[in-house]
């Protein structure tokens, strides 16, 4: 574990700096630890919808009424073909994602085959996001080829009960610690704009710094119609997202900060560029789980304009 160099009060004070000054601080930290390459990851929703958890933001929850196309577990060949396509588009990581609190026993053998298929692609690193796994399941997916596992904290402990009650914050933290103990890299991030306060965002940054994940996906809430948060489009603005990126970089100098869901719908190109300057050095490319992403050619163009490139 690493300890953040700043405490809660210090990070809150940094939030209030003039924006240019705050970006200058976070940019300096980024340049000290990283080059101009941006890690590119693509994802696939290998199983979509019908989730029994009541996360208010999620279009896949049975407790919400979002109109999405649900489907059972995909075929292994479909997942492998999607991974090959992602590599052609510039991704060197591909994440297999399934809906639900945990992976059903009947699906697990097929998921292991998916992992092996993706890991067999030359130059492709296999990641997964499969919910609350057991220690034995983590051992098995690592053996099959998973290098990194996504399991977000989503928000801070003090606000978690406002977002989900069918599982708790500690369930997520325990899962992250377990996968790290089994030698799998943690991909653990948040969703901004769910009604949390600035103080809550600092608490997220400090909690993540303590967990010390390899990469931190930063999602911006996409208020999907039919979810409990469908009217939350005004809970955070672009400047506050940018300031939060800076604070995360200051709190976690060596983590890969990754643009994730909501980037293309909630964050203009101007601010996306500022975020990359401030400390973003990873991106989800292509589509997300149930929503469309940015065209890959547009992402490459944006990076080129900043003298950056996909890793």
- DSSP 8-state symbol, 80: H
Any domain includes 91: yes
Domain count, the chain: 1
Tens of each residue's pLDDT in the chain, 311 residues:
455 689 999 999 999 999 999 999 999 999 999 999 999 999 999 998 778 888 999 888 877 777 777 788 999 999 999 999 999 989 999 999 998 878 888 999 999 999 999 999 999 999 999 999 999 999 999 999 999 999 999 999 999 999 999 999 999 999 999 999 999 999 999 999 999 999 999 999 999 999 999 999 999 999 989 999 999 999 999 999 999 999 999 999 999 999 998 888 889 999 999 999 999 999 998 755 544 556 788 899 999 999 999 88
Any domain includes 243: yes
Q: Report pLDDT for 293.
A: 59
CATH number at residue 110: 3.20.20.70
CB 127 within 8 A of CB 146: yes
Domain span holding position 264:
8-310
pTM of the entire predicted model: 0.94
Q: Report pLDDT for 288.
A: 53
Any domain includes 121: yes
Ramachandran bin of 192, using left for φ above 0, alpha for ψ from -120 to 50, beta for the remaining angles: beta
Any domain includes 272: yes
Any domain includes 265: yes
CB 144 within 8 A of CB 165: no
Any domain includes 305: yes
Any domain includes 96: yes
Q: At what angle do helices 108-119 and 76-88 cross, to 10 degrees?
A: 30
First to last CA, the chain: 26
| CA contacts within 13 A on the Cβ side of 131 | 19
Any domain includes 1: no
Q: What are phi and psi of 43, to 5 degrees?
A: -130, 160
């Amino acid at each position: 574990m690493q300890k953040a160099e700043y405490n809660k009060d210090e990070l809150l004070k940094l939030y209030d700096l003039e924006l240019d000054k705050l970006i200058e601080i976070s940019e300096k930290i980024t340049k000290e630890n990283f080059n101009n390459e941006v890690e590119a990851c693509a994802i696939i929703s290998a199983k979509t919808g019908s989730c029994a958890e009541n996360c208010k933001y999620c279009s896949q929850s049975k407790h919400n009424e979002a109109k999405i196309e649900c489907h059972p577990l995909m075929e292994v060949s479909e997942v492998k073909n999607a991974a090959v396509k992602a590599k052609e588009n510039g991704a060197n990581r591909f994440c297999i994602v399934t809906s639900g609190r945990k992976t059903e026993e009947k699906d697990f053998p097929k998921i292991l085959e998916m992992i092996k298929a993706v890991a067999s692609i030359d130059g492709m690193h296999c990641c997964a996001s499969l919910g609350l796994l057991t220690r034995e399941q983590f051992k098995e997916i690592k053996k099959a080829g998973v290098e990194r596992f996504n399991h977000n904290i989503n928000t801070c402990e003090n606000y978690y009960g406002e977002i989900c009650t069918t599982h708790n914050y500690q369930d997520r933290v325990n899962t992250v610690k377990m996968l790290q103990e089994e030698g799998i890299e943690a991909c653990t991030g948040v969703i901004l704009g769910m009604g949390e306060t600035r103080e809550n965002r600092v608490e997220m940054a400090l909690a993540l710094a303590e967990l010390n994940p390899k990469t931190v996906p930063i999602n911006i809430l996409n208020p999907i119609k039919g979810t409990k948060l469908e009217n939350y489009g005004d809970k955070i603005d672009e400047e506050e997202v940018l300031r939060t990126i800076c604070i995360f970089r200051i709190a976690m100098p060596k983590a890969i900060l990754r643009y994730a869901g909501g980037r293309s719908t909630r964050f203009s190109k101007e601010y996306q560029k500022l975020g990359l300057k401030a400390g973003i050095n990873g991106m989800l490319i292509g589509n997300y789980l149930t929503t469309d992403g940015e065209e890959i050619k547009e992402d490459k163009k944006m990076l080129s304009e900043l003298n950056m490139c996909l890793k």
